[in-house]
Amino acid sequence: MKETAYLSLGSNSGDRAQAIHNALDAVNALPSTAVTRISDVYETTPLDMESPNKFLNAAAEIVTDLEPAALLGELETIEKRLGRREKSTTKYVDRPIDIDILYYGSHTITERRLIIPHPRLHERSFVLIPLNQIAPFHIDPVRRQTPAQMLERLAQGMAGVTHYEV
């Protein structure tokens, strides 16, 4: 059964814009999956890590027949193919691509490798701003708020996030 899912994409090393473009192409090529909406790209200062390299971030809406765990596996394969090293469990590091599942329909999932909705999306303006652009009326199944409502509650608001011309 087709589900609508929302992804966050980010890159802060190498050709950042090309990495996001390549990741979106790879997601669109997944079996029974189509990218249906893509936000603008935003440049953001790193959060929760020390790096001189700014991120480019975007959000995408997809429609897929893949189950959440299978989708996660496919996204991790795409990340590795695009140069991502193993994810660190102790700290954030620079990365050529990072793809996170923000939402999978209205499902809530809590597993060791997968938590949906993404557990920190409500704390991250670099996720909420592009998400709000493509899914302004999506209601978070846990917080019962739209992206704009969650963004209003952030202390930093839109600070550190600027529109990026690709």
**Topology of domain 3-164, CATH:** Alpha-Beta Plaits (3.30.70)
The residues spanned by each domain of the chain are 3-164
Beta-carbon count within 10 A of 85 CB: 11
In this model, does residue 17 exceed pLDDT 80? Answer: yes
Is 53 buried (19+), middle (13-18) or exposed (0-12) by CB count in 10 A?
middle
The overall pTM is greater than 0.85:
yes
Mean pLDDT of 128-140: 97
The better pLDDT of the pair 110, 87 is held by 110
Q: Decide if 8 contacts 23 (C-beta within 8 A).
A: no
Q: Decide if 80 contacts 46 (C-beta within 8 A).
A: no
DSSP 122: G
